[in-house]
Amino acid sequence: MSYHINTKCLQAGYDPKNGEPRVVPIVQSTTFKYDSAATLGKLFDLEEDGFFYTRLTNPTLSTVAAKIAELEGGVGAMLTSSGQAASMMSVTNICHAGDHVVCAAAIYGGTFNLFNKSLRELGIEFTFILPDATEEEINAAYKENTKATFIESVSNPSLDVADIETYAKISHAHGVPLIVDNTFPTPINLRPFEWGADIVTHSTTKYMDGHAVAIGGVIVDSGNFDWTNGKFPMFTEPDESYHGVVYTERFGKAAYITKAVTHLMRDYGAQQSPQNAFLLNLGLETLHLRMERHCQNALAVAKFLEANDKIEWVNYPGLESSKYYERAKKYMPDGTCGVISFGVKGSREKAMQFMDSLKLTKLVIHVADCRTCALHPASTTHRQMNDQQLEECGVKPNLIRMSVGIEYIDDIIDDIKQALDKV
Ligand SMILES: *Cc1c(COP(=O)(O)O)cnc(C)c1O
């Protein structure tokens, strides 16, 4: 039986047996008991399925991961302690020192630092691609040692909409997988695997949790990429740390995600806590309802701002004035996300005056919360970037990012109105 994605938000991944808890239980145990040393030995050699230590996985974590895998339409998923950990491991699962990644320039500031500083320091090189790059320019970025392409489906905070199909085509022509950070649209609005992507990541801290209560991330494997094309010996040659297991032979379509759990999570240990996974699951249960309202409210706010003469520009892919309107309609016919950005006319100071006058809308370093919030990236999340880097990732110095919540729409707009009156 195949259910609609809205039903999967509630019920996927967990099917309690007779007398079991109706709600996914929090298994607050780091370890699991077995009757014989031989059974434990088999678990360690990956010959049998089972839980043995929560740093690798545990029943709560694997249940919630299975739900997200179903929402994205993948063969498996791995929860991580944060979105940063998901981005990091999505790349280091296949890239080592001396390898190279082609990456969209319009990405989350934290991901940019992770790649451009920390992973560079570990010997992985990155080429960043501007949002309006042509197919030829993207093609030209690939090298002999390129092992992956990384993009954001809808970028945070610049709201560029990626042409996933084109990126998938180019990526596959070079024999490497396309990794898509799908945090902003969520699988409710966009499922990158349906457009050729191979791996999806999320900061579950954002819409998936949705209530700003639990940091977390996830990596989802489509199962579609051919790891046996000669570029990825980590899947086709024996892993001596597991008695010579060959991931593609033993795990088939789930080679990538199995290696992520058994190798990277074992070694890096950036596991999500069962408590956070439980909270994440509560968020997932209403994700479809919340995304619909986020999109409705954001479009109404965007239209209001666009008609206001104190506003210089409004950027929301759902607006007809957006250069991404057509592309957004193609990939996300039901809406993109609840995040919009705009510039208040005048100086940087006017923008800050507006921010300080908001009442219902709170100033927080967060986005994709059910409560409306706003942020000035140039002075906060992106303050480490110089002007050229800001321009390259599409962040204007007077950009205000507003994450429109699911409150009653008139109250949100009234708050913006009164704040604009004070500018
Ligand atoms: C927030 C965010 C991240 C990082 O996630 P954390 O959970 O904060 O570590 C990665 N990608 C995008 C698009 C984000 O918005």
Q: Whose CA is nearest to atom 7 of ligand 1?
A: 83
pLDDT tens for 142-164 read 999 999 999 999 999 889 999 99
| CA R_g for the chain | 22
pLDDT tens for 350-375 read 888 999 999 999 999 899 999 999 99
- pLDDT over 70 percentage in the chain: 99
**Closest CA relative to residue 412, chosen from 317, 287, 305, 334:** 305
Q: What is the mean pLDDT of residues 64-84?
A: 98
Which amino acid is present at 92? T
Mean pLDDT for the chain overall: 95
Beta bridge partners of 202: 218
Q: Is the CB of 84 under 6 A from ligand 1?
A: yes
Contact 83, 201 (CB under 8 A): yes
- The structural domains of the chain, ordered by start, are 5-284 (3.40.640.10), 288-421 (3.90.1150.10)
Q: Find the 84 Cα to ligand 1 centroid distance in Å.
A: 6
User: Any idea which residue has 């000669």 for tokens?
Assistant: 230
Q: pLDDT value at position 334? A: 97
In sequence order, which residues have a C-beta less than 8 Å from that of residue 232 and are 6 or more positions away?
94, 147
Q: pLDDT value at position 387? A: 66
pTM: 0.96
Q: Using 50, 70 and 90 to split pLDDT, how confident is the model at 393?
A: low
Residue 157: asked if its preceding bond is cis (omega within 30°), the reply is yes
pLDDT tens for 87-109 read 999 999 999 999 999 999 999 98
Q: Classify residue 50 as exposed, middle or buried by CB count within 10 Å of its CB (0-12, 13-18, 19+).
A: exposed
Q: pLDDT value at position 1? A: 74
pLDDT tens for 200-225 read 999 999 999 999 999 999 999 999 99
Q: Find the 86 Cα to ligand 1 centroid distance in Å.
A: 9
Q: Find the 126 Cα to ligand 1 centroid distance in Å.
A: 19
Q: Which atom of ligand 1 is nearest to the CA of 84?
A: 9
Distance CA 159, CA 330 (A): 15
Q: pLDDT value at position 360? A: 98
**What tokens appear for 358 in the block?**
């908001």
Phi, psi at 95, each rounded to 5°: -120, 135
Q: Find the 205 Cα to ligand 1 centroid distance in Å.
A: 7
- pLDDT over 90 percentage in the chain: 86
